[in-house]
Amino acid sequence: MNDDRISRSATLMQVAERAGVSTATVARVLKAKGYVSDEARARVEAAVKAIGYRPNAMARGLRQRRSFTIGHMLDAIIVNPFFVNVAHWAEEEALEHGYKTFLFNHNGDGERERIGIERFIERRVDAVLFTNAIATENVRLLAAAGIPALQLERSKTPAAPAIRVDNKVGALEAMRHLVELGHRRIAFVGGDPDLIGRGATAGPTVEEDRLEAYRSGLAAAGLSPDPALMRLGRYYSLEAGGTSSEGYRHAKSLLELEERPTAIFATCDILAAGALQAVYEAGLRVPDDISVIGFDDTIAANLTPQLTTVAQPMEDLGRIGFRAVLAAIETGDFPELPLLPSRLVLRRSTAPVAH
Amino acid sequence: MNDDRISRSATLMQVAERAGVSTATVARVLKAKGYVSDEARARVEAAVKAIGYRPNAMARGLRQRRSFTIGHMLDAIIVNPFFVNVAHWAEEEALEHGYKTFLFNHNGDGERERIGIERFIERRVDAVLFTNAIATENVRLLAAAGIPALQLERSKTPAAPAIRVDNKVGALEAMRHLVELGHRRIAFVGGDPDLIGRGATAGPTVEEDRLEAYRSGLAAAGLSPDPALMRLGRYYSLEAGGTSSEGYRHAKSLLELEERPTAIFATCDILAAGALQAVYEAGLRVPDDISVIGFDDTIAANLTPQLTTVAQPMEDLGRIGFRAVLAAIETGDFPELPLLPSRLVLRRSTAPVAH
DNA sequence: ATTCTATGTGTCATCGATGACATATGGTGT
DNA sequence: ACACCATATGTCATCGATGACACATAGAAT
């Protein structure tokens, strides 16, 4: 009822004064540890409520040398919902453990990544998650500052451990699915390992895995890859305006071939979305005339027709990723890091090859 | 070359010792203010570089009573890219001013919103942005703590000022566009003001504006709204799985009408995406058989056909929103808050009504 | 009566950066 | 000679929470 306006959040000392006890007693009540009489506890609780006391995280962090914050460095959040999802689930898990995440977008720019890492260090994050790290020397800055770092899925550098996704299982499933439907001319639209994944790398890159699965999928069906059906490039170009334009561009050129493919395997839903547009514009139909498969399972369910795609374990990446860095914070060591599976999600964009 | 491993980021005092000066001199060098001899400056700079010093933001924040952080409370980030975009641009502007944003998702849950605000207060954010505030009493918590708060676009409570978008201009443009194409049976698929926007409100809600524009758009063409063509509900249901399923469900029922609409005006791209799926499934074509318009311009360009939609000024919302709270932080007062325009973006999902 | 333990409470240095304030030096102006 | 100012540097209390430590009391055990 009363309009008691408190200009700055109160301090623990003010609570102590109001309750007529020392700061130590207030601290004991708040931490629920140590001996406190029922009477003192009641008075402290009343004072906390009366002045709306909230502990100052900066003071606590300074003293404890823990910020209860982790930095999450990621790529192009407004282009690819994959990053949003991973960030969301990492945040969710963090909250459940009393932590908070800080996001930082590098948008594919190494210099921005460096700046972001410096911000992380200044804010004394307790750990850093990378979803698509760029530069090894940036990651090393964290090691030098004694901050544990973990890469999620898109692992680009050996400078930090990684939770990887087995891109191959899902991609192979996808290829098998297409082959079973009778497809023989299957196009590949995806990231170019030489363009994207280069640099010192711990294990094969995402792009290598997907391309490799494409090749072995073909091989398993007794087919050899036709260079004319492969489009390797970037996932997106921020300048290009339309975010699916890369997929559109590639698919369009594929459809203009004399012997056009009967199926397109795109390594990202956004690329696949562009492919759907190109097919539509060419007056063809998905899946009747041409099948399309995407990757990630981000916007797949929102497209028309709903897209068959290789789903990434985004929730697991985020949650398990956070728990792993939490372990590293608390024990100094990372637990064993899993290799998470990808899997094919069947929807409406694939069908038997047209006669 | 040497593997000097520093376990904790160094302190200003360590820099001072190494440079053989006092902490005050180091501070002067870092702040670039006050008198410092060239020689001392050089020694300090060398020491900073040598030990990789980064100031501790928690210590600075504690002392200065400023965290240089603002909280951004928003809705369902993994469902609607609208929020991601606004958050992205607010963050971008914040970075340019030496600030950082903290995101918090309430997912439409008032209790979560409260928890988030408590976290914001504990971390002593200097201000809070709301993109879709829920509960007035939650917003009041901030006022009580002396923290400026600003609502972006989706304004639900009079407890904080708001930067609003003129939803009507764009929506009216959209209706005019459809009418000009000869459409008379135009369906509305959107949020229900009674379901979503209720509660103490500063001005009309987003839902009211869009519905109102629909009605006046019809009226301007001498038409009266047909209740059978209106579907008012929620924008999404997280339980439903497919995020576009609400739009799909509504559109499906519209297409089953004896006299089905020739155009659908959906108040969100995600809803429109569902409508596209329903049309496709009914064996009809967009825009030949039925026109569809969306709202927001989030995934519109990724859909097939590319969606004509009412674009929201997401970058302006984020950037101007941040600058407004920055002014509030520095001067204690908000500047005059603009009413931002929405505008129709023509793409490929609308066409003259089929004969 | 003495020692011990459980219970309850208070004092204070500490985390790291900041900035007000004090101090010191050398040159200019009168 | 003295006052004055620009230049240059150092000392220290402060922000708010924490937790080690000291102290105090009462009842139980010896």
Residue B103 has pLDDT above 80, yes or no: yes
Q: Which chain B residues have a beta carbon less than 8 Å from that of A144?
A: 4-6, 52
- Provide CB contacts within 8 A for A54, sequence distance 6+: A9, A10, B118, B121, B122, B145
Per DSSP, the three-state class of B300 is: helix
Q: Which residue has the tokens 């981000």?
A: A298
Q: Which of residues 57-76 of A touch strand D (CB under 7 A)?
A: 59-60, 62-64
B65 touches strand D (CB under 7 A): yes
Q: What is the mean pLDDT of residues B187-211?
A: 76
- Nearest alpha-carbon partner for A236 in A228, A244, A248, A227: A244
Cα of first residue to Cα of last residue in chain A, in angstroms, is 77
pLDDT level of residue B238 (50, 70, 90 thresholds): low
What single string gives the DSSP state of each residue in B34-68? S---HHHHHHHHHHHHHHT----HHHHHHHHT--S
Per DSSP, the three-state class of B232 is: strand
Using the structure, give the distance in angstroms from the CA atom of A209 to the C1' atom of C1, rounded to a whole number.
Answer: 83
pLDDT level of residue A133 (50, 70, 90 thresholds): confident
pLDDT level of residue B202 (50, 70, 90 thresholds): low
Cβ(A350)–Cβ(A288) below 8 Å: no
Q: pLDDT tens-digit profile of A79-93? A: 889 999 999 999 999
Q: Which residue has the tokens 């990887």?
A: A164
Note the pLDDT of residue A6.
39
CB contact under 8 A, A146 and B302: no
- Nearest alpha-carbon partner for B307 in A165, A161, A145, A277: A277
- Provide CB contacts within 8 A for A198, sequence distance 6+: none
Q: pLDDT tens-digit profile of A291-341? A: 999 999 999 999 999 999 999 999 999 999 999 999 999 999 999 999 999
A355 touches strand D (CB under 7 A): no
Least confident piece of the model among A34-48, B6-20, B188-202? B188-202
- Nearest alpha-carbon partner for B187 in B268, B276, B291, B274: B291
Note the pLDDT of residue B200.
57
Q: What is the mean pLDDT of residues A51-58?
A: 95
Within 159-198 of B, beta carbons closer than 8 Å to A belong to: none
- Nearest alpha-carbon partner for B86 in B351, B316, B294: B316
Residue B3 has pLDDT above 50, yes or no: no
Residue A112, CB half-sphere, CA atoms under 13 Å: how many?
A: 15
Question: A1-8: long-range contacts at Cβ-Cβ below 8 A with a sequence spacing of 24 or more?
Answer: A4/B144, A5/B143, A5/B144, A5/B146, A6/A51, A6/A52, A6/B144, A6/B145, A6/B146, A7/B146, A8/B65, A8/B145, A8/B146
What's CA A332's distance to the chain center, in Å? Answer: 24
Q: Which chain A residues have a beta carbon less than 8 Å from that of B273?
A: 302-304
A12 touches strand C (CB under 7 A): no
**E strand segments, chain A:** 69-74, 100-105, 127-131, 149-152, 162-166, 186-191, 230-233, 263-266, 291-296, 308-311, 339-341, 343-345
B237 touches strand C (CB under 7 A): no
pLDDT level of residue A160 (50, 70, 90 thresholds): very high
Residue B186 has pLDDT above 70, yes or no: yes
Amino acid at A195: L
Phi, psi of B141, rounded to the nearest 5 degrees: -55, -35
The average confidence (pLDDT) of chain A is 91
Q: Which of residues 103-162 of A touch strand C (CB under 7 A)?
A: none
Note the pLDDT of residue B4.
35
**DSSP state, residue B193:** I
Residue A257 has pLDDT above 70, yes or no: yes
b or e along A240-278 (b: 16 or more beta carbons within 10 Å of the residue's beta carbon)?
Answer: eebbbbbbbbbbbebbeeeebbbbbbbbbbbbbbbbbbb
What's this model's pTM, rounded to 2 decimal places? 0.93
**DSSP state, residue A66:** -
Cβ(A119)–Cβ(A73) below 8 Å: no
Of B4, B123, B146, the CB nearest to A6: B146
Of B91, B124, B243, the CB nearest to A58: B124
Distance (Å, whole) CA B278 – CA B283: 9
Distance (Å, whole) CA B9 – CA B7: 7
pLDDT level of residue B198 (50, 70, 90 thresholds): low
Note the pLDDT of residue A234.
79
Of A55, A61, A301, the CB nearest to B58: A61
Q: pLDDT tens-digit profile of A174-220? A: 999 999 999 999 999 987 777 666 555 667 788 888 999 999 999 99
Residue B183 has pLDDT above 90, yes or no: yes
Residue B2 has pLDDT above 50, yes or no: no
Residue B196, CB half-sphere, CA atoms under 13 Å: how many?
A: 24
What single string gives the DSSP state of each residue in A198-219? -SS-SS--HHHHHHHHHHHHHH
Lay out the sheet containing B263-266: strands in order across. B230-233, B186-191, B263-266, B291-296, B308-311, B343-345
CB contact under 8 A, A100 and B105: no
pLDDT level of residue A241 (50, 70, 90 thresholds): low
Note the pLDDT of residue B155.
74
b or e along A18-51 (b: 16 or more beta carbons within 10 Å of the residue's beta carbon)?
Answer: bbebeeebbbbbeeeeeebeeebbebbeebbeeb
Structure tokens at A120: 């992380």
Q: Which chain B residues have a beta carbon less than 8 Å from that of A8?
A: 65, 145-146
Q: pLDDT tens-digit profile of B79-92? A: 889 999 999 999 99
Q: Which of residues 44-63 of B touch strand D (CB under 7 A)?
A: 59, 62-63
**CB-neighbour burial class of residue A126 (10 A; exposed 0-12, middle 13-18, buried 19+):** buried
Q: What is the mean pLDDT of residues A232-245?
A: 67
Residue B110 has pLDDT above 70, yes or no: yes
Within 123-162 of B, beta carbons closer than 8 Å to A belong to: 123-124, 141, 143-146
Q: How far is CA B337 from CA B72, B84, B317, B319, in A?
A: 18, 22, 11, 12
pLDDT greater at residue B75 or residue B243: B75
* Percentage above 90 pLDDT, chain A: 80
Q: Which chain B residues have a beta carbon less than 8 Å from that of A145?
A: 6, 8-9, 52, 54
Q: Which helix (H) or strand (E) holds A258?
A: none
pLDDT greater at residue B230 or residue B208: B230
Of A54, A144, A242, the CB nearest to B6: A144
Q: pLDDT tens-digit profile of B129-174? A: 999 888 899 999 999 999 999 999 877 788 899 999 999 999 999 9
Distance (Å, whole) CA A121 – CA A325: 16
CB contact under 8 A, B270 and A301: no
pLDDT greater at residue A203 or residue A228: A228
Cβ(B104)–Cβ(B331) below 8 Å: no
Amino acid at A227: P
The average confidence (pLDDT) of chain B is 90
CB contact under 8 A, A78 and B67: no
pLDDT level of residue A287 (50, 70, 90 thresholds): very high
